[in-house]
């Protein structure tokens, strides 16, 4: 470091606290996902089977998500049904 | 009873291989028969840090594929009879690894060594999972940096879900935190995560703090584990880490920023 740098030197920002806060949040989220109930894949598979009786859907069309808000857990199901003309399902 | 210790991090380039080399050299230096295995298939590097790159004839994959015996593949350190290296292969033959085959090699090593140190590749893919599968203990190498801490946390999750101990429901892997490339001055100004932050976030016991130091690069340039550089802070910090790992209760060193005088700040260190 030269004498010029010394006088140029800007105060550094204390950003570590921000990093720590962000890590707290993201790691807590990742722990919840990792420790989530293991029935979700099976639930998804069985839902697939039931829905497939009526409409053609693919695995990627079903989204199953479990979220925790406080002590309350919300199971969110999102099923994208195909366009009308594709609904040539087995149920006719 | 021999112990298998994986040196892992999730994130790349944080100091796993540097730590593996010094940790293994330190254990051997205290009289323990030690072998260090390079699990980074396709990217052999441990041999360079240990200064034995020109003596590699056979490697880990040759042993797995039964093209060579362990005895043929193990390289004895030129300075320490207690220390052996099992180099990685340079071919990308990752499929050679199966739990069973790696397990056979580890079991054979258990007969002749007290400590089996596994230098993990980065990532959470097969190579990293193989390196941690048989671990009894783990050194979690972490830099004071946001993505390194998160990746260490991911790897802790792997240890408690994907290791043999986890699957068989045995006593969990003993986890130790190693913070490397620590810069006290930058932690002090709040620019970098502090030791307390990292420990609080990861929640595992600290076994060593290795300061950021030029000696590490010099040591790897010369092919000598930095722990043998007794003058350097990082060498001493690795010595302390080995002592703590072996159960000694010694205080952490090199945690405070050097107080630079006004003139030193102006004219440089
Ligand atoms: N305490 C330290 N001070 C300064 N430089 C360091 C320190 N520890 C490691 N390094 C440097 O960081 C780089 C990466 O180190 P190393 O190869 O040990 O990491 P790694 O985790 O094994 O990487 P990879 O994930 O690629 O296997 C090297 O250039 C090394 O010299
Ligand atoms: Mg490495």
Q: In terms of C-beta density within 10 A (0-12 exposed, 13-18 middle, 19 or more buried), how is residue B111 classed? A: exposed
Please list, in sequence order, all residues whose beta carbon lies within 8 angstroms of the beta carbon of residue B92, skipping any fewer than 6 positions away: B41, B42
Low-confidence ranges of chain B (pLDDT < 50): 269
A17: chain B residues, CB-CB within 8 Å: 190
| CA separation for the pair B225, B238 (Å, rounded) | 10
pLDDT at B130: 96
Q: pLDDT band at residue A82, thresholds of 50, 70 and 90?
A: confident
Question: Does the distance separating the beta carbons of A22 and B201 come in below 8 Å?
Answer: no
Residue A84 has a pLDDT of: 65
**Ligand 1 pocket member B212 (CB < 6 A):** yes
Compute the distance between CA of residue B120 and CA of residue A21 in angstroms, rounded to an integer. Answer: 29
Residue with the smallest CA separation from ligand 1 atom 3 is: B212
Q: Which residues contact B237 (CB under 8 A, 6 or more apart)?
A: B208, B209, B210, B211, B253, B254
Contact between B183 and B123 (Cβ < 8 Å):
no
pLDDT over 60 (residue A86): no
B125: DSSP letter: S
pLDDT higher at A31 or B132? B132
Per the prediction, chain A carries an average pLDDT of 76
pLDDT of residue B134: 98
Residues B187 and B205 sit within 8 Å (Cβ to Cβ): no
CA separation for the pair B60, B264 (Å, rounded): 50
CA separation for the pair B154, A63 (Å, rounded): 24
Q: What is the mean pLDDT of residues A67-92?
A: 69
Q: CB-CB: which of A16, A30, A34 is closest to B197?
A: A16
Predicted model pTM: 0.83
Confidence check: pLDDT of A89 > 70: no
Banded model confidence at residue A45, pLDDT cuts 50, 70, 90: confident
């Amino acid at each position: 470091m030269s004498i010029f740098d010394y006088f140029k030197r800007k105060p550094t920002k204390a950003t570590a606290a921000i990093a720590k806060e962000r890590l707290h949040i993201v790691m807590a989220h990742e722990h919840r996902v990792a420790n989530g109930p293991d029935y979700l894949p099976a639930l998804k598979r069985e839902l697939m089977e039931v829905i497939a009786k009526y409409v053609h859907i693919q695995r990627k069309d079903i989204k199953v998500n479990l979220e925790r808000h406080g002590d309350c857990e919300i199971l969110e199901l999102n099923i994208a049904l195909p366009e009308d003309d594709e609904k040539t399902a087995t149920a006719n | 009873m021999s112990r298998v210790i994986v040196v892992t991090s999730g994130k790349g380039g944080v100091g796993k291989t540097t730590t593996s080399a010094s940790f293994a050299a330190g254990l051997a230096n205290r009289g323990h028969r030690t072998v260090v295995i390079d699990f980074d298939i396709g990217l052999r590097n441990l041999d360079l840090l240990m200064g034995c790159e020109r003596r590699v004839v056979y490697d880990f994959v040759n042993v797995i594929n039964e093209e060579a015996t362990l005895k043929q593949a193990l390289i004895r350190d030129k300075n320490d009879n207690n220390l052996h290296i099992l180099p990685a292969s340079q071919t990308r033959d990752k499929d050679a690894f199966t739990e069973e085959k790696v397990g056979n090699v580890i079991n054979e090593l258990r007969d002749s060594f007290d400590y089996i140190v596994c230098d993990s590749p980065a990532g959470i893919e097969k190579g990293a999972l193989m390196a941690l599968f048989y671990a009894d203990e783990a050194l979690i190498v972490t830099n004071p940096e946001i993505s390194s801490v998160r990746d260490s946390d991911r790897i802790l999750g792997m240890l408690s879900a994907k290791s043999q101990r986890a699957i068989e429901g045995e006593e969990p892997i003993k986890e130790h935190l190693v913070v490397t490339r620590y810069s006290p001055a930058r932690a002090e100004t709040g620019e970098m995560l502090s030791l307390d932050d990292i420990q609080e976030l990861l929640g595992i016991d600290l076994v060593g703090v290795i300061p950021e130091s030029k000696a590490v690069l010099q040591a790897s340039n010369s092919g000598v584990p930095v722990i043998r550089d007794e003058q350097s802070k990082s060498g001493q910090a690795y010595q302390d880490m080995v002592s703590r790992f072996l159960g000694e209760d010694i205080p952490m060193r090199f945690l405070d920023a050097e107080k630079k005088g006004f003139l030193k700040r102006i004219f440089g260190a």
